[in-house]
Amino acid sequence: MPQPEVATHPAVRRLARRLAVGLFLDRWPVWAGVALLSAGTGALICRMFVPRASPYLPWLWLSPVVAAIPALVVALRRRYRPADLVALADWLGGGHGLLLALFETRDPLWSAPPLVARAAQFGQPRFRLRGVMATLAPAIAFLAIAVLLPQRQPKAAANPALAKQMVADLSAAVAQLAQQQAITPAEEQRLEDEIRQVQQSAERRVDASSWEAADALRQQLASALAAKQDAVRWAHDAVARYAAAAKADGPASANAEARAAELTQALEKLAQAGLAGSKAAQVLRGLEDGTLATDAGNLAELTDALASELGETGGRLAGPGALGAEGGRFDPAEFPTSSDAGPDGDGDPGSGGINRGRGDADLTWGQETKPFDKFKSTPLPPGAARSPDDWTPVVVLPGAPQEDPTLSTSAAARAYADTLGLEAWRRSLAPRHLSAVKKYFGKDHDRDKEP
Partner 1 sequence: MTEPASSLLAPDRVADGQAKVARVVAGLRRAIVGKEQVIDEVVTALLARGHVLLEGLPGLGKTELVKALSRLLSLDVRRIQFTPDLLPTDVTGSHILQERDGRRDFVFHAGPIFTNLLLADEINRASPKTQAALLEAMQERRVTTFGETRALPAPFFVLATQNPIELEGTYPLPEAQLDRFMFKVDVAGVEASVLEEILVTRVHGEPPPLEPVLTSADLFDLFAIVDAVHLPRGVAGYIARLVAASHPASPDAPEAVKTFVKYGSSPRAAISIGVAARGLALLQGKPSVGFDDVRRVAPPAMAHRLVLDYAARLEGWDGRRVVAALLEAVSEVERGLPRTLDAR
Let me know how long the chain is: 451
Minimum Å gap between C-beta 9 and partner 1 is 17
Q: What is the distance between the alpha carbons of residues 76 and 23, in angstroms, rounded to a whole number?
A: 8
* 86 vs 273 by CB, closer to partner 1: 86
* 102 vs 183 by CB, closer to partner 1: 102
- Binding-site ranges for partner 1 (CB under 8 A): 18-19, 22-23, 25-26, 29, 80, 83-84, 86-88, 90-92, 94-98, 100-105, 107, 109-110, 123-129, 131-132
Q: Could you give phi then psi for residue 376, rounded to 5 degrees?
A: -100, 145
270 burial type by CB count under 10 A (0-12 exposed, 13-18 middle, 19+ buried): buried
Minimum Å gap between C-beta 63 and partner 1 is 20
* 80 vs 416 by CB, closer to partner 1: 80
* 74 vs 240 by CB, closer to partner 1: 74
* 61 vs 110 by CB, closer to partner 1: 110
Q: Is 335:278 a contact under the CB 8 Å cutoff?
A: no
Minimum Å gap between C-beta 1 and partner 1 is 16
Q: What is the distance between the alpha carbons of residues 81 and 16, in angstroms, rounded to a whole number?
A: 10
Helix H or strand E segment including 191: helix 185-204
* 106 vs 433 by CB, closer to partner 1: 106
Minimum Å gap between C-beta 73 and partner 1 is 16
Minimum Å gap between C-beta 12 and partner 1 is 14
Q: Chain-centre distance of CA 36, in angstroms?
A: 33
Tell me the CA distances in angstroms from 146 to 42, 63, 227, 311, one per residue in order.
9, 14, 59, 70
Minimum Å gap between C-beta 103 and partner 1 is 8
Half-sphere exposure of 100 (CA within 13 A, CB side): 12
Residues ≥6 apart with Cβ < 8 Å to 19 = 79, 80, 85, 88, 125
Q: Chain-centre distance of CA 272, in angstroms?
A: 49
Q: What is the distance between the alpha carbons of residues 428 and 131, in angstroms, rounded to a whole number?
A: 57
DSSP annotation of 418 reads: I
Q: What is the distance between the alpha carbons of residues 20 and 72, in angstroms, rounded to a whole number?
A: 9
Minimum Å gap between C-beta 430 and partner 1 is 39
* 129 vs 415 by CB, closer to partner 1: 129
Q: Is 71:27 a contact under the CB 8 Å cutoff?
A: yes
| Amino acid (1-letter code) at residue 341 | A
* 12 vs 235 by CB, closer to partner 1: 12
Minimum Å gap between C-beta 36 and partner 1 is 18
In whole angstroms, how large is the CA radius of gyration of the chain? 54
* 70 vs 97 by CB, closer to partner 1: 97
DSSP annotation of 2 reads: P
Minimum Å gap between C-beta 130 and partner 1 is 10
At CA 285, angle to CA 283 and CA 287, rounded to 5?
A: 65
Residues ≥6 apart with Cβ < 8 Å to 377 = none
Extract the runs of DSSP E, i.e. beta strands, from 168-274.
none
* 128 vs 152 by CB, closer to partner 1: 128
Minimum Å gap between C-beta 54 and partner 1 is 36
